[in-house]
């Protein structure tokens, strides 16, 4: 939803003036009266007030339940402080590298789940689809001698086909997404088991593309700092282009000071991470897994925020019937979203196979599904549809992996890790529910 849709009407608006957009207009003046005062978008006044105006706006959003990613960032700070106090190596180079690598596969799968959650639906089959993707690659590449890239492509496309099948039964036949993906969870687990055969595991060949997904690091320091520089420049350019477009359309735009401040914060974060990963003691450089994860996030974010398809996904998630009446092909959007989820599920399965040393019957099993959904929800994507960001997959996965990394470093049992992760997931859903209720009370839902 655009900022304009969120701007409440104010008493300063005159008849004949637009309700939003920052454009000024005047009502026809009665004969013999003073000239009318132009209607001004209240957000322009906020920005003119500088820091005081932004602080007031921030307080208004918090009181209105618009928390955004604030709880996630607060949680990450708390996690870092607590575990660093317990173990001084928690923020070391090797620890940060481990968090980045182990977050990649599950995080990529979580990106697909974000799109499904934006529809207000759920995909319970993503773990099994990941297992099938790994099994298809292993059987074709290792057992039948197919080329690495061809086998990977077929494996990823197999996930696309399975996801589209789920979407077809949901959109065209009318089977609830919960039921059809639960059936997929069971059925594709059996297919994975059957494909793996009696031994149940196929080792990853040394030096293969799949092995390098999580085991290759860019040792040259220029790679880490170069990626950080590209990220900062791209972020600054996106802000400037957005501001230019909004000004050209007569809409409120971020002032230059805000663009500089936002870019500075992102620059600090990016270069600190690059410095830590390039630290001689412990880390091996920039992980390829992190680069691929970030590439998926950037592409998915562009699709979600800058394309007609992305806007239609939000519209269908917000109100399917209204979207249908607006001319959106709801069935096509639903099928495509589940196909995206299946594609990224199979791709993420290759990362899991790389971490485990090969394709096994256990790829995608266990707590994989729970972690994927938890990452999307903890990062800020609503379970109720129509609200969320692709980057929530990254934030949520960092939270989960940081908790697991910290608990492992202090020798905590797996059972305790599951309980803590479950509690964090519950807290995220509670925050989302309370936030939605607060917004309804404030009249901003």
Which range, 55-64, 251-260, 324-333, 416-425, has the best average confidence (pLDDT)? 324-333
Q: Which residue has the higher pLDDT, 199 or 123?
A: 123
> Is the pLDDT confidence value at 119 over 60?
yes
Helix (H, G, I), strand (E, B) or coil at 359: strand
Choose the weakest-confidence range: 10-24, 161-175, 292-306, 341-355: 10-24
Residue range 328-337: average pLDDT? 96
For strand 286-287 and strand 217-218, is the pairing parallel, antiparallel, or unpaired? antiparallel
Residue range 386-411: average pLDDT? 86
- Hey, how many other C-beta atoms are within 10 angstroms of the C-beta on 272? 12
Q: Quote the CA–CA distance of 113 and 394 in Å, as a whole number.
A: 12
Of 293, 357, 342, nearest to 127 by C-alpha is: 342
Q: How confident is the model at residue 308 (pLDDT cuts 50, 70, 90)?
A: very high
**CA distance readout (Å), 82 to 90, 214, 402, 404, 405:** 10, 28, 11, 13, 12
Q: How confident is the model at residue 345 (pLDDT cuts 50, 70, 90)?
A: very high
Tens of pLDDT, residues 399-443:
888 888 888 888 888 788 778 878 877 877 777 677 666 656 655
Looking at the DSSP assignment, which residues form a beta bridge with residue 359? 202
> Is the pLDDT confidence value at 38 over 80?
no
Sign of CA dihedral 102, 129, 132, 294: negative
Which pLDDT does position 54 carry in this prediction? 61
Contact present, 304 and 310 (Cβ < 8 Å):
yes
What's the full length of the chain, in residues? 445
Q: Quote the CA–CA distance of 15 and 13 in Å, as a whole number.
A: 7
> Is the pLDDT confidence value at 335 over 90?
yes
Q: How confident is the model at residue 49 (pLDDT cuts 50, 70, 90)?
A: low
Q: Quote the CA–CA distance of 401 and 276 in Å, as a whole number.
A: 17
DSSP 287: E
Residue range 304-316: average pLDDT? 92
Model confidence, pTM:
0.82
Q: Quote the CA–CA distance of 49 and 430 in Å, as a whole number.
A: 34
What average pLDDT does the chain have? 82
Read off the tokens for 103. 């977050």
Give the H/E segment covering residue 400: helix 392-409
Q: Given phi > 0 = left and psi -120 to 50 = alpha, else beta, which region is 385?
A: left
Which range, 80-84, 128-132, 388-392, has the best average confidence (pLDDT)? 128-132
Q: Quote the CA–CA distance of 271 and 173 in Å, as a whole number.
A: 50
Q: How confident is the model at residue 4 (pLDDT cuts 50, 70, 90)?
A: very low
Tens of pLDDT, residues 244-267:
888 888 877 777 888 888 899 999
Residue range 97-110: average pLDDT? 92
> Is the pLDDT confidence value at 276 over 90?
no
Residue range 202-225: average pLDDT? 89
Percent residues over pLDDT 90 in the chain: 41
Q: How confident is the model at residue 364 (pLDDT cuts 50, 70, 90)?
A: confident
Angle at which helices 177-196 and 126-138 pack, to 10 degrees? Answer: 30
**What is the longest distance spanned by two Cα atoms in the chain?**
94
Q: How confident is the model at residue 206 (pLDDT cuts 50, 70, 90)?
A: confident
Q: Which residue has the higher pLDDT, 75 or 112?
A: 112
Residue range 354-383: average pLDDT? 85
Q: How confident is the model at residue 173 (pLDDT cuts 50, 70, 90)?
A: very high
Q: 223-260: b or e for each residue (b if 16 or more CB lie within 10 Å)?
A: bbbebbeebbeebbeebeeebeebeeeebbbbeeeebe
Q: How confident is the model at residue 71 (pLDDT cuts 50, 70, 90)?
A: confident
Give the H/E segment covering residue 218: strand 217-218
Q: Quote the CA–CA distance of 353 and 236 in Å, as a whole number.
A: 36
Tens of pLDDT, residues 182-196:
999 999 999 998 988
What are the phi and psi torsion angles at 217 (to 5°)? Answer: -130, 140
What are the phi and psi torsion angles at 136 (to 5°)? Answer: -60, -45
Percent residues over pLDDT 70 in the chain: 80
Q: Look up tokens 């759920």; give the residue.
A: 122
């Amino acid at each position: 939803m655009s900022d304009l849709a969120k701007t409440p009407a104010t008493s300063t608006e005159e008849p004949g003036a637009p309700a939003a957009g920052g454009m000024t207009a005047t009502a026809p003046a009665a004969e013999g009266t003073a000239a009318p005062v132009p209607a001004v978008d209240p957000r322009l006044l906020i920005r003119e007030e500088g820091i005081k105006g932004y602080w007031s706006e921030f307080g208004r959003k918090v009181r209105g339940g618009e928390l955004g990613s604030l709880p996630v960032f607060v949680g990450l700070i708390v996690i870092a402080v607590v575990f660093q106090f317990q173990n001084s190596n928690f923020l070391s180079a090797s620890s940060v590298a481990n968090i980045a690598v182990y977050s990649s596969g599950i995080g990529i799968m979580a990106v697909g789940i974000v799109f499904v959650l934006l529809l207000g639906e759920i995909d319970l089959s993503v773990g099994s689809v990941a297992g099938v993707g790994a099994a298809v690659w292993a059987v074709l590449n290792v057992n039948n001698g197919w080329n690495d890239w061809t086998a990977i492509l077929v494996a990823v496309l197999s996930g696309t086909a399975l996801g589209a099948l789920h979407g077809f039964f949901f959109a065209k036949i009318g089977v609830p997404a919960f039921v059809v993906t639960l059936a997929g969870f069971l059925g594709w687990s059996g297919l994975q088991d059957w494909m793996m055969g009696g031994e149940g595991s196929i080792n990853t060949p040394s030096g293969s593309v799949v092995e390098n997904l999580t085991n290759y690091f860019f040792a040259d320091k220029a790679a880490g700092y170069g990626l950080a520089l590209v990220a900062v420049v791209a972020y600054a350019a996106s802000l400037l282009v957005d501001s230019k477009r909004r000004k050209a359309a007569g809409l409120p735009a971020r002032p230059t000071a805000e663009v500089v401040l936002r870019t500075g914060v992102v620059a600090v974060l990016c270069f600190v991470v690059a410095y830590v990963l390039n630290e001689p003691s412990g880390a091996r450089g920039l992980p390829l897994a992190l680069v691929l994860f970030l590439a998926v996030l950037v592409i998915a974010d562009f699709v979600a925020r800058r394309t007609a398809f992305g806007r239609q996904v939000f519209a269908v998630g917000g109100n399917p019937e209204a979207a249908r009446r607006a001319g959106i092909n709801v069935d096509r959007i639903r099928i495509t979203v589940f196909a995206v989820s299946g594609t990224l599920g199979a791709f993420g399965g290759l990362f899991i196979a790389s971490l485990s040393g090969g394709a096994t019957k256990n790829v995608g099993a266990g707590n994989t599904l729970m972690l994927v959904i938890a990452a999307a929800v903890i990062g800020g994507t609503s379970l109720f549809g129509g609200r969320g960001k692709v980057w929530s997959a990254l934030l949520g996965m960092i939270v989960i992996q940081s908790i697991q990394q910290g608990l492992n470093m202090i020798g905590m049992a797996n059972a305790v890790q599951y309980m803590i992760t479950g509690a964090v997931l519950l807290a995220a859903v509670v925050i989302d529910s309370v936030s939605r209720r607060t917004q309804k009370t404030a009249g901003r839902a």
